Amino acid sequence: MSALLGCIADDFTGATDLASMLVKHGMRTVQTIGVTERTLPSDVDAVVVALKSRTIPPADAVTQSLAALSYLQRLGCRQFYFKYCSTFDSTPRGNIGPVADALSDALRVDFTIACPAFPVNGRTVYKGYLFVGDVLLAESGMRQHPLTPMTDSNLVRMLQAQTSRKVGLCGYDVVPRGADAIAERLRELREEGITYAVVDAIRDADLAALGEACAGFRLVTGGSGAALGLPENFRRQGLLAPGVDAQALPPTDGYRAVISGSCSVATNEQVAVMKRHHPAFQVRPRALADGESVVVEALAWARARMTREPVLIYATDSADEVKTAQHRIGVERAGALVENALAAIARGLVEAGVGQMIVAGGETSGAVVKALGVESLRIGPEIDPGVPWTTTIGSAKPVALALKSGNFGKADFFVSAWKHLP
């Protein structure tokens, strides 16, 4: 195979978000969970390697990102994309600066852009300042983030704190004038000795023009939004096969199940809606801690019902109940018990004939994917913003998976997602 665009994402759901964006813009895309030794399909235009490197020590993030880069180089990719969060989640230690530095060195580039803007999700950049909705980043909820509290909103300053190379700005006096004007400004910044140009963008049209201006760049860095204009460059060069449906997934069949381990507000609503339509089984942390055979029970319960309709197996609970369980069992132990149980149930369900499954929760999805031995996924049509259907690659029979992080998806997600499957 020879892919065109190779992407390195610093977390799993961010990788899916980017992959979904590329599919929407016509690139057939595969997401791998870390670097995989298994062969990927040959008809792939973009590969997104999902790392878990956002908050690990900078040196580890660099090592993992470089390993992902050389993997993508072996796949034949021509352009590389470093994807971070649209809220620029990082600290003065990194990891955005150190990883960008290491990728630049490895690719021998002395200039690239940095643009986390994602206007459809309310992330805009103006005069180098990042806005979340109507407020500056440092005035948003991100100020209180447990791991990466964002207390500065100025991207030039923030990135400069993470790198010894010079950071500059391509501002909104230039960006709306289009791709040529942006390219010209980027050339000037490069000549001034700037390595990273933070780029203002407040509309998708700005990102499309920015993408065009980055056509010849070996390395681009940004959120999902800044990748929006890149597929068109490959199309213009005749490198993307015309008339191909990038969203097409291989057909899957089998029974349908939802596994829910997220306790977010959105997921609680989704569980409530699903319970009104289909049978549901609750996994209680206390029963797990008491050593009850919850996994066996859940599987027997599901087998008796899933031949007729989709089933829901959930640990999802209200914030109060979660707190009570955590108080009794311990935060980490409760989380691990629930994750392990749901992952074992998911594996048992697939062995029993489930072929289409929704999983709710970032950590829960990670545990399920691991238990199923999945190393890569083909990305298909979007169900709700940022959540596509995917199919497993490499298993004897593909399984359709929708991996939803906590706060994503409308209230009827578990009931209506199935209709987006081929």
Residues lying near ligand ADP in the complex (CB under 6 A): 261-264, 267, 285, 315-317, 322, 325-326, 334-335, 338-339, 361-364, 405-406
Report, in Å, the least distance between residue 367 CB and ligand ADP.
Answer: 8
CB of 70 to ligand ADP, least distance (A): 30
Neighbours of 116 (CB within 10 A): 27
| Least gap, CB of 235 to ligand ADP (angstroms) | 34
Residue 265 beta carbon to ligand ADP: minimum distance, rounded to whole angstroms:
9
Nearer of residues 150 and 266 to ligand ADP, judged by Cβ: 266
E runs forming strands in 236-342? 255-260, 280-282, 311-314
Residue entry with tokens 């209200």: 318
Handedness of CA 251, 373, 353, 268 (dihedral sign): negative
Q: Taking Cα atoms as reference points, which of 45, 61, 47 lies closest to residue 103? A: 61
Shortest Å distance, C-beta 278 to ligand ADP: 19
Strand (E) or helix (H) holding 376: strand 376-384
Distances in Å between the Cα of 316 and the Cα atoms of 295, 320, 341, 374 are 16, 12, 13, 24
Q: Are strands 167-170 and 196-199 parallel, antiparallel or unpaired?
A: parallel
Nearer to ligand ADP, 195 or 316 (CB): 316
Please count the CA atoms within 13 angstroms of the CA of 396 that sit on its side-chain side.
3
Nearer to ligand ADP, 153 or 364 (CB): 364
Nearer to ligand ADP, 16 or 262 (CB): 262
The smaller minimum CB distance to ligand ADP, of residues 222 and 361, is found at: 361
The nearest distance, CB 344 to ligand ADP, in angstroms, is 13
Minimum CB distance to ligand ADP smaller for 62 or for 369: 369
231 three-state secondary structure? helix
CB of 159 to ligand ADP, least distance (A): 27
Q: Which is nearer to ligand ADP, 100 or 346 (CB)?
A: 346
Query: What minimum distance in Å lies between the beta carbon of 51 and ligand ADP?
Result: 16
CA distances from 91 to 115, 160, 184, 224 (A): 17, 11, 31, 20
SS3 assignment, position 381: strand
CA–CA separation, 99 and 94 (whole Å): 8
- Which residue lies nearer to ligand ADP by CB, 128 or 361? 361
Which token pair is 250?
């291989």
DSSP string covering 332-358: HHHHHHHHHHHHHHHHHHHHTTEEEEE
- Min dist CB 363 to ligand ADP, Å, is 3
The sign of the CA dihedral 22, 24, 25, 28 is positive
Q: In the chain, what is the straight-line distance between the N-terminal and C-terminal CA atoms, in Å?
A: 25
| 177 vs 323, beta carbon nearer ligand ADP | 323
- Judge if the upstream peptide bond of residue 95 is cis by omega within 30 degrees of 0: yes
Q: Which residue is nearest to ligand ADP (CB)?
A: 406
In angstroms, the CA 290 to CA 83 distance is 42
Q: How far is the CB of 52 from ligand ADP (least distance, A)?
A: 12
Q: Which is nearer to ligand ADP, 102 or 283 (CB)?
A: 283
